[in-house]
């Protein structure tokens, strides 16, 4: 068709990519359909070639299917509560604290994590003043390792010390176990970097009374609590099991109440009072269950499935099934959110915590369509929440069989973040999260939405082990 013929009739234009090319046509009254397209891999040639080698490759597809089968087969049963030193031997052998996110040294830690380290050192009796605790931490007197390196996860600062009671979750088919600490509630909590007598008293009570009473109650239940089925129920009840845990927490308390009532000597009645007001109680269970599932999919050769995403408040990092135990890191992102009165974005610590393991497992931001009550995080409309869940489905391998989203006609939650899809589309995983004050000692100041930075996924893709030459 000659240009002359082209312009003789009515023009209907499809504009691919840069929206600014469409505007002059629109201004001249032309009917333009815009397609939001960006070159794969940010237009980076070398990265584009790395990506092209992996996209659609049968070995990768098959390996991802294996990884997802393993992840989705896990039945996370809550089997015990015990002091961390019993569950994780390294905590009994060394003066060690576990923390959220990829590895980080004391000197690099953000304010809330430092505060939580100080609190844990005081709790363990390693130091009698905050200054002494800081000196120990600075001089190498305390070692630090990620929770993830010990099959554990902790929200926000994620500090786990030897005496803290841990949730123990087990997959009966493999005997594999994962761990998380117990949730302190909202507001002034160690995990948000709050310090003070209130925080320390609660932690001591949790070790002395809450943990033992839960352990005893759990043992007297007729059967173990299946956290997968509890999560599936809660998704029908407005939870996304990361930043909204009201239904799951209430269901779990109802399950335990009769058994806790039997153990007043161990603290069961105090536990019931404590649980009455804790709407975040299930978060740590959701995290431990998500860790158990995703770790089952780790270590599958040639799999591009993400098996962990975690943040230490300074850096964030992903681990990928086929990339061994490396963390691929980027600077921690900011959180957009709703702040408690008197606080604002300038007070916020960047993204922190292991809780994004929920998103790696199809919950949190990926299941946002299930949780209309927290759509205030994202502008207030359930339709925006549904869009986010649908967008996340463009970067995942499959959908969860049991985790259904009622807001999207019961479709399964998107699960199994594929490094290839993130790099190809440039779509960063959406994460719902709490917000910590950046200064040590203050605590939670809000909650909102953040994203896993593309940079981590690009690094992982670049480092992805070469595929064998086809036979």
**Which of 46, 409, 466, 469: binder of a copy of itself (CB under 8 A)?**
409
345 burial level (CB within 10 Å; 0-12, 13-18, 19+): middle
Q: Assess 46 for contact with a copy of itself (CB under 8 A).
A: no
**Which of 34, 186, 226, 236: binder of a copy of itself (CB under 8 A)?**
236
C-beta of 37 vs 410, nearer to a copy of itself: 410
C-beta of 25 vs 237, nearer to a copy of itself: 237
Q: Least distance to a copy of itself from the beta carbon of 257, Å?
A: 4
Cβ atoms of 162 and 91 closer than 8 Å:
yes
Q: Least distance to a copy of itself from the beta carbon of 376, Å?
A: 10
Q: Least distance to a copy of itself from the beta carbon of 266, Å?
A: 12
Q: Assess 238 for contact with a copy of itself (CB under 8 A).
A: yes
The piece of 111-119, 133-141, 380-388, 451-459 that touches a copy of itself (CB under 8 A) is 380-388
**Which of 57, 269, 387, 451: binder of a copy of itself (CB under 8 A)?**
269
**Which of 79, 237, 454, 467: binder of a copy of itself (CB under 8 A)?**
237
The piece of 135-143, 163-171, 184-192, 253-261 that touches a copy of itself (CB under 8 A) is 253-261
**CA 264, 267, 272, 276 torsion: positive or negative?**
positive
For residues 69 to 108, the per-residue mask of contacts with a copy of itself, x marking binding by CB under 8 A and - elsewhere, is ----------------------------------------
Q: Least distance to a copy of itself from the beta carbon of 46, Å?
A: 46
Cβ atoms of 416 and 68 closer than 8 Å:
yes
40: which 2 tokens? 């794969």
Q: How many residues bind a copy of itself (CB under 8 A)?
A: 33
The piece of 144-152, 235-243, 352-360, 424-432 that touches a copy of itself (CB under 8 A) is 235-243
Q: Least distance to a copy of itself from the beta carbon of 262, Å?
A: 6
For helices 246-261 and 283-296, give the axis angle rounded to 10 degrees: 100
Could you give the count of Cα atoms lying within 13 Å of 120 in the half-sphere of its Cβ?
A: 32
Q: Using CA atoms in the order 83, 89, 93, 96, what is the torsion angle rounded to 10 degrees?
A: -70
Q: Least distance to a copy of itself from the beta carbon of 409, Å?
A: 6
Distances (CA, A) of 269 to 120, 216, 274, 415: 26, 13, 9, 38
Q: Least distance to a copy of itself from the beta carbon of 403, Å?
A: 14
C-beta of 102 vs 407, nearer to a copy of itself: 407
Q: Assess 261 for contact with a copy of itself (CB under 8 A).
A: yes
Q: Assess 379 for contact with a copy of itself (CB under 8 A).
A: no
Q: Assess 381 for contact with a copy of itself (CB under 8 A).
A: yes
**Which of 69, 204, 325, 410: binder of a copy of itself (CB under 8 A)?**
410
Q: Assess 174 for contact with a copy of itself (CB under 8 A).
A: no
Q: Assess 382 for contact with a copy of itself (CB under 8 A).
A: yes
- Which spans of this chain sit near a copy of itself (rule: CB under 8 A)? 233, 236-238, 246-247, 249-251, 253-255, 257-258, 260-262, 264, 268-269, 272-273, 275-276, 372-373, 381-383, 406-407, 409-410
């Amino acid at each position: 068709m000659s240009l002359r013929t082209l312009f003789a009739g009515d023009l209907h234009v499809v504009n691919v990519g840069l929206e600014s090319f469409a505007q002059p046509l629109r201004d001249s009254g032309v009917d333009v359909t815009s397609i939001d397209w960006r070159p794969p891999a940010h237009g980076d040639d070398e990265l584009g070639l790395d990506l092209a080698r992996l996209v659609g490759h049968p070995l990768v597809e098959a390996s991802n299917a294996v990884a997802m089968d393993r992840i989705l087969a896990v039945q996370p049963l809550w089997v015990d509560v015990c002091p961390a030193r019993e569950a994780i031997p390294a905590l009994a052998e060394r003066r060690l604290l576990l923390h959220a996110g990829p590895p980080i040294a004391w000197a690099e830690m953000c304010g809330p994590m430092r505060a939580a380290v100080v609190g844990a050192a005081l709790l363990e009796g390693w130091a009698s003043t905050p200054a002494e605790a800081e000196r120990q931490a600075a001089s190498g007197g305390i070692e630090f390792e990620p929770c993830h390196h010990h099959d554990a996860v902790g929200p926000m600062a994620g500090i786990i010390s030897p005496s803290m009671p841990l949730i123990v979750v087990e997959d009966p088919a493999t005997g594999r176990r994962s761990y998380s600490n117990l949730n302190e509630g909202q507001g002034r909590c160690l995990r948000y970097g709050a310090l003070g007598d209130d925080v320390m008293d609660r932690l001591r009570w949790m070790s002395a009374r809450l943990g033992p009473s839960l352990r005893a109650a759990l043992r007297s239940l007729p059967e173990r609590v299946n956290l997968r089925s509890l999560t599936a129920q809660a998704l029908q009840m407005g939870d996304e099991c990361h930043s909204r845990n009201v239904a799951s927490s209430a269901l779990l308390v109802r399950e335990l109440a009769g058994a806790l009532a039997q153990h007043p000597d161990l603290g069961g009645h105090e536990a019931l009072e404590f649980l009455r007001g804790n709407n975040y109680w299930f978060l740590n269970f959701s995290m431990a269950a998500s860790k158990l599932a995703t770790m089952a999919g780790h270590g599958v050769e040639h799999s591009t499935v993400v098996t962990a995403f975690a943040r230490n408040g300074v850096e964030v990092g992903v681990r990928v099934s086929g990339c061994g135990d490396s963390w691929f890191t980027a600077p921690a992102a900011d959180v957009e959110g709703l702040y408690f009165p008197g606080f604002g974005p300038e007070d916020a610590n960047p993204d922190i915590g292991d809780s994004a393991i929920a998103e790696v497992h199809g919950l949190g931001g990926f299941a946002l369509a299930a949780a209309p009550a927290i759509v205030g995080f994202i502008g207030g409309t359930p339709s925006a929440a549904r869009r986010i869940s649908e967008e996340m489905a463009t970067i995942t391998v499959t959908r969860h069989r049991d985790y259904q989203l009622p807001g999207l006609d019961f479709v399964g939650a998107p699960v199994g973040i594929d490094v290839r899809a993130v790099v190809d589309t440039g779509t960063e995983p959406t994460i719902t999260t709490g917000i910590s004050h950046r200064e040590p000692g203050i605590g939670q100041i809000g909650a909102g939405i953040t994203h896993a930075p593309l940079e981590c996924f690009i690094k992982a893709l670049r480092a992805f082990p070469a595929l064998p030459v086809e036979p």
